[in-house]
């Protein structure tokens, strides 16, 4: 066991530190960087403080690693849990103690069941187990948390699939604007973002590490998916983006400082969110103006409303495609 722990510690030291501070360039260390840590297609990047990003197993997975164990924000897509856990084991041998879902989407929550089982089951009594106890004890296993709306969405069957049940469902939910956790010596805020990408989005804000994991309201390489069927709205997305901008503090001159882990895509900071917020706001303003003028969706589509953004943010198809995004904005603003 000691040798495993040593190997894990060694591997942890080899993880690429992709984020540097903003000290004068003349004082930056010259040491060659360690090679990227990619385990079976899952890349592990240290963000800052105790927080890591695991990318490549569906939606981004955020890991806070400390003396008490691991807190995960999300568990990845279907069939990805083993790859994610293998990658995690390259940087720590500590047990997973918390699993937070930032929304109820399948690419964020499909590994819940496997991760809970790998962590000796649920920590604490589940609602249906009150009085019945937990066979492995109150303080063993994984505590799982989501917003109540996300929990409800998880129980519903997605297209071509079945709703989650049993160990895959969060053991704890909340419906208040905020829920706090203290783990690994760090205050962690779970902040609810109403009616944004969906009706169950939360931010996971690691106050000491100065990192916020924000889920699908911010995807720096693509248009946001506004899931109208699950309660999403464009104004909720914009509200949530403005909240990220309020949370984040750049180190100086819009550089560094609070880091942002998006639902998909690269590590970011406030300046990236500002560009994204501006893009969504400008598109919203244009569509709103056109709706006021009585234009139909077809007419709005023909007006090149998103021309300057399509090349970068437009997915080839689906809800993050130029057409999909524009229609979601239109419908969200009351367009018929």
Applying CB under 8 A, the residues found at the interface with another protein are 16, 18-19, 24-26, 28, 30, 32-33, 36, 43, 45, 53, 55, 220, 238-239, 241-242, 245, 250, 252-255, 259, 265-272, 274-275, 277-278, 281-282, 285-286, 289, 303-305, 307-312
Sheet with 268-269, strands from edge to edge, namely 178-183, 186-193, 201-206, 211-215, 259-262, 268-269
Please state the closest distance from residue 89 (CB atom) to another protein, in A: 19
Give the span between the Cα atoms of 8 and 11, in whole angstroms.
5
Q: How far is the CB of 270 from another protein (least distance, A)?
A: 6
Beta bridge partner(s), residue 261: 213
- Minimum CB–partner distance for residue 18 and another protein (Å): 4
Instruction: Give me the least distance between CB of 129 and another protein, in Å please.
Output: 39
- Bridge-based pairing state of the strands 259-262 and 178-183: unpaired
At its nearest, how many Å lie between another protein and the CB of residue 33?
Answer: 6
Report the alpha-carbon distance of residue 101 to residue 96 in Å, rounded: 14
Neighbours of 24 (CB within 10 A): 6
Q: Which C-beta is closer to another protein: that of 180 or that of 308? A: 308
In the structure encoding, which two tokens stand for residue 77, read together?
A: 């897509």
User: In the bound complex, what is the minimum distance in angstroms from residue 27's beta carbon to another protein?
Assistant: 10
Closest C-alpha to 215, from 200, 230, 234: 200
Helix or strand holding residue 7 (H, E) = helix 2-14
- Furthest-apart CA pair in the chain: how many Å? 70
Contact between residue 143 and residue 124 where contact means Cβ atoms under 8 Å apart: yes
- Residue 290 beta carbon to another protein: minimum distance, rounded to whole angstroms: 9
Q: What are the backbone dihedrals phi and psi of residue 211, each rounded to the nearest 5 degrees, phi first?
A: -135, 140
Contact 35, 61 (CB under 8 A): no
CA atoms of 52 and 64, how far apart (whole Å): 6
DSSP 224-236: ----GGGT--HHH
Query: Which residue in the block uniquely carries the two structure tokens 């998880």?
Result: 154
Q: Could you count the other beta carbons within 10 Å of the beta carbon of residue 125?
A: 14
Q: How far is the CB of 308 from another protein (least distance, A)?
A: 4
Residue closer to another protein, measured from CB, 126 or 277? 277
């Amino acid at each position: 066991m000691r040798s495993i722990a040593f190997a894990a510690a060694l591997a942890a030291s080899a993880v690429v530190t992709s984020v540097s501070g903003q000290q004068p360039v003349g004082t930056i260390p010259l040491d060659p960087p360690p090679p990227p840590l990619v385990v079976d297609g899952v890349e592990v990047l240290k963000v800052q403080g105790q927080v890591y990003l695991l990318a490549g197993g569906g939606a981004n997975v955020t890991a806070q690693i400390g003396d008490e164990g691991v807190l995960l924000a999300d568990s990845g897509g279907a069939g990805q849990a083993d790859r994610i856990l293998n990658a995690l084991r390259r940087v720590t041998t500590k047990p997973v103690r918390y699993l937070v879902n930032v929304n109820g989407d399948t690419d964020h929550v499909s590994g819940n069941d496997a991760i809970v089982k790998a962590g000796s089951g649920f920590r604490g009594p589940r609602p249906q187990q009150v009085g019945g106890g937990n066979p492995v004890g109150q303080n063993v296993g994984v505590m799982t948390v989501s917003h109540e709306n996300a929990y409800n969405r998880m129980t519903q069957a997605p297209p071509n699939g079945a709703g989650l049940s049993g160990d895959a469902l969060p053991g704890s939910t909340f419906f208040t604007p905020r829920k706090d956790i203290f783990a690994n010596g760090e205050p962690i805020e779970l902040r609810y973002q109403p009616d944004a990408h969906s009706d169950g989005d939360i931010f996971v804000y690691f106050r000491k590490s100065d990192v916020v994991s924000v889920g699908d309201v911010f995807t720096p390489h693509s248009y946001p998916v506004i899931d109208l069927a699950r309660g999403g709205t464009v104004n909720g997305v914009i509200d949530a983006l403005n909240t990220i901008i309020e949370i984040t503090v750049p180190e100086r001159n819009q550089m560094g400082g609070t880091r942002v882990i998006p639902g998909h895509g690269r590590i970011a900071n406030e300046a990236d969110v500002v560009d994204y917020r501006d893009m969504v706001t400008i598109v919203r303003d244009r569509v709103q103006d056109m709706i006021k003028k009585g234009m139909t969706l077809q007419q709005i589509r023909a007006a090149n409303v998103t021309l300057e953004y399509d090349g970068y943010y437009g997915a080839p198809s689906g809800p993050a495609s130029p057409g999909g995004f524009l229609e979601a904005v239109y419908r969200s603003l009351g367009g018929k």
